Amino acid sequence: MSYPKADFVSSAWKDDLFRKKVVFCTGGNGTICSAQVRALVYLGADACIVGRNEQKTKNIAKELSEVRTNARVLGIGGVDVRQPRLLQTAIDRCVEELGGIDLLIVGAAGNFLASIEDLSPNAFKTVIDIDTLGSYNTVKLTLPHLVKSVQMQEAGNRGVGPSGRVIFVSATMHYTGYPLQAHVSAAKAAVDAIAVNFALEYGPFGVTSNIISPGPIGGTEGMRKLSMIEKIKEKEGRRVPLQRYGSVKDIADATVYLFSDAANYVNGEVLVVDGGAWRVLATGPDSGIQYPENVLTRNTSKI
């Protein structure tokens, strides 16, 4: 599938911004994370994306490899970030075939709507394990390669742009609380905590750690799960201050910024990309069913 450049990355960035860099991305077959990687590959990086669905991951990797001539993109499926052994195997393959890991996107996540009353302990644990434990496993296992990348960059051996950059893909609902999202709010709050602690511990080694918190992004799997966006086009984004849902390009541009030399002194920060939505959307999904009806009815199939 061919994408016009204007659909996935701003013209503000130089085409070779990440030449000879390697990005490793968990959750890389998802709508948002694949868009982040697409922009980086277009701007010169090679990439390794991992995901649980093997065929989907390979298909997305092939699509990403066609963004730029001679781009190298590995798609490694069957990888559950909750299992360090599987994750380590993917990391080892990435390093062996692509030469290292310079940039890391921690994006694997799980989500669904459920009230606390209906949320089973196992369902709660599953989201915590994917988002929080998975994020921890990812940064822990890639850390040696990120530090090595910084050292090689300082020696002039890792191409264009900075090395040792980490972005955690978070969310905004835990800033205020969010109906039917207790599990995700808890998981993402923990992810943010890991990201900030990582920034403190490995900043002295030259590795930066930052957070991108997307708001409602149109056309994504998450929005299809959490709202009736496809059924209420006429109301799309009306509760967002900028009067529209975000696009994957908005998240991709934020990613390019944090991985670029423009963000050399940015560490341990949260970049919210949501058009100001979190300040007004705390009462629930922009679905046409408003608070408190969305919790009083307990009919999450309509939300």
Q: Rounded distance, CA 206 to CA 245, Å?
A: 35
Instruction: Give the burial class of 292: count Cβ atoms within 10 A of its Cβ; 0-12 exposed, 13-18 middle, 19 or more buried.
Output: exposed
- Quote the CA–CA distance of 41 and 20 in Å, as a whole number: 10
Domains and CATH numbers, the chain: 18-302 (3.40.50.720)
pLDDT digits (tens, 9 = 90+) for 37-60: 999 999 999 999 999 999 999 999
For the cut 50, the answer to whether the pLDDT of residue 231 exceeds it is no
Could you tell me what percentage of the chain is helix, strand and coil, using 3-state DSSP and rounding each to the nearest 5? 45, 10, 40
Which residues fall within 8 angstroms of residue 240, CB to CB, at 6 or more apart? 215, 216, 274, 275, 276, 277, 280, 281, 286
What's the rounded mean pLDDT across residues 246-267? 96
Hey, which residues does 271 pair with through a beta bridge? 212
Catalytic annotation, pick one of 170, 185, 227, 287:
170
Place of tokens 């001679």: 70
Give the pLDDT confidence score for residue 300 in this predicted structure: 56
Let me know: does 274 contact 172? Beta carbons within 8 Å: yes
Question: 106 — phi, psi (to 5°)?
Answer: -100, 100
CB 64 within 8 A of CB 50: no
Does 170 participate in catalysis according to the annotation?
Answer: yes
Average pLDDT over the chain, rounded to whole?
89
Among candidate residues 188, 209, 249, 287, the one labeled active-site is 188
Residue of 100, 105, 103 lying closest to 33 (CA atoms): 105
DSSP 110: -
Q: How far apart (Å, rounded) are the C-alpha atoms in residues 288 and 246?
A: 18
DSSP 8-state secondary structure symbol assigned to residue 218:
T
Six-digit token pair at 117?
A: 């009353």
* 3-class DSSP assignment, residue 179: coil
**Least confident range of 186-190, 220-224, 226-230, 271-275:** 226-230
127-173 pLDDT per residue, tens: 999 999 999 999 999 999 999 999 999 888 877 788 999 999 999 99
188 catalytic? Reply is yes
* pLDDT of 282: 66
Look up residue 256 and give its two tokens: 């390019």
Buried b (16+ CB within 10 A) or exposed e, 115-148: eeeebeeeebebbbbbbbbbbbbbbebbbebbbb
Q: What CA–CA distance (Å, rounded) separates 300 from 303?
A: 5
